[in-house]
A and B are shown apart, each in its own frame.
Chain A
Amino acid sequence: MLLIDCPHCGPRDETEFHYGGQAHVAYPADPHALSDREWAEFLFYRDNDRGLYAERWSHSLGCRKWFNAIRDTVTYDFTAIYPMGQARPDTAEAAPQASAIAEADPQPHPTAGFEGAVR
């Protein structure tokens, strides 16, 4: 079971969370302008990365708030947790391996960016 660090409530069991799939998939600015192919891409095509992946989680049995996370889809390790609406952090994007980062360059707490969040 994953231990997920909810930015508002702290680390909780995976069973308290709902998975929201790929993060940063914006609703099309003008849906009527899309071709069938583009509409299919929006509805049915999602990235399926092997390695670091930006995804959404909701603490559905806790504070019920959504947040973004960067997680490795092979090791299942979380490298970053950041608020909805914030761009994907660069550090996680550039890093090839979660474990490699931890050894080489200590990262800020994964919930950095949630200053003032009640824990």
Chain B
Amino acid sequence: MADQLPEHPDFLWRNPEPKKSYEAVIIGGGGHGLATAYYLAKDHGMTNIAILERGWLAGGNMARNTTIIRSNYLWDESAAMYEKSLKLWEQLPEELDYDFLFSQRGVLNLAHTLQDVRESQRRVNANALNGVDAEWLDPEQVKEVCPIINIGDDLRYPVMGGTYQPRAGIAKHDHVAWAFARKCDEMGVDIIQNCEVTGIERIGDKVVGVETNRGNIATEKVAMCVAGDSSVLADMAGIRLPIQSHPLQALVSELFEPVHPTVVMSNHVHVYVSQAHKGELVMGAGVDSYNGYGQRGGFHVIEEQLAAAVELFPIFARAHVLRTWGGIVDVTLDASPIVSKTEVAGLYANCGWGTGGFKGTPAAGFTFAHTIANDEPHPLNAPYALDRFETGHLIDEHGAAAVAH
């Protein structure tokens, strides 16, 4: 039997034993941890670093998101951060020498009420001022971009138009992780899987190392990229984060021939849909209401998003749900991330990306690496510091950009 199997493909990264010490340790081997390591090595020459992953590489939210990439956020700080991310996405396939199926098929954000229309048009204008491509489409133009949408007035909430960002799109998330992992490994970064951090060692208000199930590791810089479990990890260092963990669910249908040419999001009826390269319809909606770490949520949330999807896309009525799953997301009170130093010297926090962390992967890595290497934030993430909750300089994207990321 074995001789009939094709050769095993080459492994993309080594699986080294952890060393006794590193210049920096990144906790979390998901997209953000990998991107952070990549930019630390590439832009800041820090290659004596390790990524510690409790499970396997990119097995958390990096494998669970709905892969939407866009930058049409309302506020200046958000547009700057997410537009930087989109620009990095545009160059990463070549830079990482890996075709991870980044497809700029555009994103439509639908408007269903007069208030939606006004907010959407305001956002289009704000985007234009920030150099983000965006336009307002009337219902007929929406139909032109995505012919399977029902723009009739027989809906409870008819489509009154939508914003369109042509440069937005999707990418294949597991390949993104593998692309980063291969490049990190080539540059000398140790990617250590099955290595759970059980403690963060401090002397006074300085980090000196981490305790893991595979021994202690000395380091003066610890970077947290563990969306979902950020509060639990921060607690090991004796600090508190303004984060609540919530389950977020998504689902896919069986495979279909291409029917859905773009990404459609609707906040009002609350569903977002794209069609993966392989052919599944990929959908998601909002978080479950309660705090949870269980990586599962209530079925009524799935039911509500499917009801919305079938009303918007009548042909989906014949599709079957193949698989649903949940991940745990970090939610902040202003629905914007935290990419910041902390009150402990040498401890850095990248968390709170809520339901929109995937699109932010490159910019999170880029700005977080800058923050770790220089012990100072990059201008892009300076507004995303923890102290904004004390100064009141919140970046209130709740309901501004789009509830669903």
Residue A75 CB within 8 A of the other chain: yes
For A19, the chain B residues whose CB sits under 8 A away are 289-290
A87 contacts B by Cβ under 8 Å: no
Query: Which residues on the B side are within 8 Å of A39 (C-beta)?
Result: 390
Which of B115-123, B135-143, B148-156, B239-247 is found at the contact surface with chain A? B239-247
- In the complex, whether A74 has a CB less than 8 A from a CB of chain B is yes
> Which secondary structure characterizes the binding site on chain B?
loop
Number of A-B contacts (CB under 8 A): 64
Kindly specify which of B20-28, B31-39, B259-267, B294-302 makes contact with the partner chain: B294-302
Per the bound structure, the CA–CA distance linking A112 and B346 in Å amounts to: 48
Say whether A46 contacts B245, CB under 8 Å: no
> Cβ of A1 and Cβ of B298 under 8 Å apart?
yes
Bound complex: CA of A21 vs CA of B389, how far in Å? 19
User: Is A27 close to B, CB under 8 A?
Assistant: no
Q: Is B333 an interface residue (CB 8 A)?
A: yes
Instruction: Provide the B314-343 mask, 1 if CB < 8 A to any CB of A, else 0.
Output: 000000000000000000110000000000
Is A95 an interface residue, CB under 8 A from the partner?
Answer: no
| Residues of chain A lying within 8 A (CB to CB) of residue B390 | 36-37, 39-40
Which of B232, B240, B333 is A50 in contact with, Cβ under 8 Å? B232
Chain B residue at smallest Cβ distance from A15: B300
B289: which A residues are within 8 A, CB to CB?
Answer: 18-19
Contact A48 B298, CB 8 Å, known A36-B390, A43-B389, A55-B290:
no
Among candidates B243, B294, B389, residue contacting A74 with C-beta atoms closer than 8 Å: B294
Contact across chains for B298 and A2 when beta carbons are under 8 A apart: yes
CA distance A44 to B300 in the complex (A): 29
Question: In the complex, which residues of chain A have a beta carbon less than 8 angstroms from the beta carbon of B300?
Answer: 1, 13-15
Nearest opposing residue in chain A for B394, CB measure: A44
Instruction: Give A75 Cβ to nearest chain B Cβ, in Å.
Output: 7
Most buried by B among A45, A48, A75: A48
Query: Which residues of the other chain, B, contact A40 by a CB distance below 8 angstroms?
Result: 242, 389-390
Instruction: Give, as a whole number of angstroms, the nearest-CB distance from A13 to chain B.
Output: 8
Say yes or no for A76: interface residue by CB 8 A criterion: yes
Min CB–CB distance B200 → chain A (angstroms): 16
On chain B, the residues within 8 Å of A43 by CB distance are 333, 389
Residues 83-114 of A, flagged 1 when their CB comes within 8 A of B and 0 if not, give: 00000000000000000000000000000000
Given contacts A37-B390, A45-B240, contact A73 B333 (CB under 8 A): no
- Contact of B294 with A73 in the complex, beta carbons under 8 Å: yes
The answer to the question of A59 belonging to the interface, with a C-beta cut-off of 8 Å to chain B, is: no
Docked complex: B277-302 residues within 8 A CB-CB of A? 289-294, 298-300
- What number of A residues sit within 8 Å (CB to CB) of B? 27
Query: Chain A residues near B245 (CB, 8 Å)?
Result: 48, 50, 73
B334 closest partner in A (C-beta): A44
- Interchain CA distance A15-B300 in the complex, whole Å: 8
Partner of A21, one of B240, B244, B299, B391: B244
Is B231 in contact with chain A by the CB < 8 A criterion? yes
Given A37-B390, A43-B333, A76 and B242 contact (CB-CB distance below 8 Å): no
In the complex, chain A residues whose CB is within 8 Å of the CB of B231:
48, 50
Establish whether residues A73 and B293, one from each chain, have CB atoms under 8 Å apart when the complex forms: yes
Residues of A within 8 A of B232 (CB): 48, 50
- Give Cα A18–Cα B332 distance, bound, in whole angstroms: 19
Residues A44 and B293 in contact, CB atoms below 8 Å apart: no
The answer on a CB contact under 8 Å between B291 and A44 is no
Q: Within 8 Å of chain A (Cβ to Cβ): is B375?
A: no
Q: Flag if B389 contacts A48 (CB, 8 Å).
A: no
Interface residue? A53 (CB, 8 A): yes
Residue-wise, chain A 6-21 has the 8 Å CB interface mask toward B (1 for contact) of 0000000111001101
- What residue of chain B has the Cβ atom nearest to residue A14's Cβ? B298
How far does the alpha carbon of A36 sit from the alpha carbon of B242 in the complex, in Å?
14
A115 to B299 CA separation, bound complex (whole angstroms): 33
Which among B244, B294, B390 has the greatest number of chain A C-beta atoms within 10 A?
B390
Are B298 and A45 in contact (CB-based, < 8 A)?
no
B133 interface hit (Cβ, 8 Å): no
Residues of the B chain whose Cβ atoms lie less than 8 Å from the Cβ of A48? 231-232, 241, 243-245, 291
A-B contact pairs, 15 of them (CB 8 A): A1-B299, A1-B300, A14-B300, A19-B289, A19-B290, A37-B390, A41-B240, A45-B241, A48-B231, A48-B243, A50-B231, A50-B245, A53-B291, A73-B291, A76-B290
Q: Give me the 7 closest cross-chain CB pairs, A-B, nearest first.
A: A48-B231, A19-B289, A44-B242, A1-B298, A40-B390, A40-B389, A44-B389
